[in-house]
Structure 1
Amino acid sequence: MNEPKIKRDPEGTRRRILTAAAEEFANGGLSGARVDQIARRALTNERMLYYYFGSKEQLFTAVLEQAFAGLADAERELDLAGLEPVEAITQLAHFIWNYYFEHQELLRLLNNENLHEARYIKGSSRINEMMSPITSMTATILQRGADAGVFRKDVDAVRFYVTLSALGYYVLSNRYTLAAILGRDFTEAQERAEVVKMSTDMVLSYLRHGASANA
């Protein structure tokens, strides 16, 4: 009697490896993550891992690309074109901060990649391409606000996006040390709501400052 053939699922195997690797790299970084543990989590073996990704470093790059692809996919679902500039910026800011809160593994991966001085991001053309639409969207909203006379005209879109991201990034990436030093957990619902409100007010106050004088 012939034994049943095992159905091959290369895409499924690849996805499982990426999912397992994302968790391992987020928790232990590139140096701390173990290939054998990733393979075990993915229900495969090290040979298949190397077959699909070539090396541990290439797998780390693929995990970074997947993390940024998730952010880019979520950004593409934003529909801010029909909103007034103030509301559009408010929703953009809240989207970024909420995405970081809901995907803190992305922050841990970025923290680790910064230890490597962005070596693996620099080697990925895909990540640079994925970041372009959100900065273009930000620039469009800022320009609409400047044209309407509600935002100042001297705002650099890339600097603004970085600053906007930093407001949410810092609180989350330092949540444990902030709690230990200041005695507050800024991821607790009420604290987080107050920080988001304060950050939104700060962002909009900056954009509105001098707007009427430049209109």
Structure 2
Amino acid sequence: MREATEVTKSKEAKPAVRDPEGVRRDILTVAMEEFSQNGLSGARIDEIAARTKTSKRMIYYYFGDKEGLYQRVLEEAYGKVRGGEHDLELDALDPIAALDKLCRFTFDHHRANPDFIRMVMVENIHHGRHMQMSKTIRDLNQPAIEELEKVLRRGQADGLFREGLTPLELHWQISALSFFNVSNSATFSLIFGGDLFTDEGQRRLSRHVADMVLRYVLRPDHFDAILADNS
């Protein structure tokens, strides 16, 4: 009887086998929070290991070292936003609707993913050093310009968008308007109040960002085209 009990306890004591891919995803999720909150130098691998119920050794096995993990988190963050843009299927929409949808998606994605914005801010502190080392990030981001160029060229071919625009500059403008909303939300709301950061305020800003970009690209005689869906 005693022997049977010991065998039963031995079986119960065996740790559950964890899915390696699931472990990697957990590590990346927690590492995103840790790096975005504390930066590269302030993030602690011990903390990531404790929160994911794994070990430093396992983290280093998957990602090489702390900087390797940080770079992989950056790649995951950019992969998420670019994947979301791809899912918009902009080619199926007319140029005005496509650009409106892209602007709103960018604004709403950044608002819903403040860790992504903080990660980009951290990487800018490091002068983009880890992005320079990542071919993955370069490959992920180039299609964003190519997709925007297709929308822009279709709008120009239809006589809706003015000439002299570049997709890179347009991408910069959309990113800037959406990025500031998150990166400076704390200081802006402390100085001017939090009205713009309520749910209604954010919905209004999302709509107005799309309006501003469309008014910039549209030929003056087509300004009224943006009023139908945005009024």
- Does the alignment reach a TM-score above 0.5? yes
Q: CA deviation at 1:31?
A: 1.1
The answer to whether residue 79 in structure 2 is matched with residue 69 in structure 1 is yes
Change (3 A) 1:124 1:169: same
Corresponding residue number in structure 1 for 2:148? 138
Q: CA deviation at 1:109?
A: 0.4
Q: Map 1:167-186 to 2 at 5 A.
A: 167-186=177-196
Q: Map 1:83-94 to 2 at 5 A.
A: 83-94=93-104
Runs of 4+ in 1 over 6 A off after TM superposition: none
Corresponding residue number in structure 2 for 1:149? 159
Query: Which of these residues, 4, 10, 21, is aligned with residue 20 of structure 2?
Result: 10
Corresponding residue number in structure 2 for 1:129? 139
Unaligned runs of 5+ in 1: none
The answer to whether residue 90 in structure 2 is matched with residue 80 in structure 1 is yes
Give the whole-Å Cα distance in 1 for the aligned partners of 2:178 and 2:144: 16
Contact 1:151 1:211 in 2 (8 A): no
Contact 1:93 1:164 in 2 (8 A): yes
**Aligned partner letter, 1:141:** V
Higher helix share: 2
Q: Percent identity?
A: 36
Give the whole-Å Cα distance in 2 for the aligned partners of 1:31 and 1:172: 22
Q: Which has the larger radius of gyration?
A: 2
Residue 186 of structure 1 aligns to a residue whose secondary structure is helix
Contact 2:30 2:52 in 1 (8 A): yes
Q: Map 1:194-209 to 2 at 5 A.
A: 194-209=204-219
> 99-108 vs 181-190, which deviates more?
181-190
Give the whole-Å Cα distance in 2 for the aligned partners of 1:16 and 1:208: 44
Contact 1:167 1:199 in 2 (8 A): yes
Give the whole-Å Cα distance in 2 for the aligned partners of 1:185 and 1:140: 36
Give the whole-Å Cα distance in 1 for the aligned partners of 2:64 and 2:90: 40
Residue 137 of structure 1 aligns to a residue whose secondary structure is helix
> 118-127 vs 79-88, which deviates more?
79-88
Report the TM-score, using the length of structure 2 for normalisation.
Answer: 0.86
Change (3 A) 1:69 1:14: same
RMSD: 1.7
Contact 2:106 2:175 in 1 (8 A): yes
Corresponding residue number in structure 2 for 1:166? 176
Residue 81 of structure 1 aligns to a residue whose secondary structure is helix
**Aligned partner letter, 1:21:** A
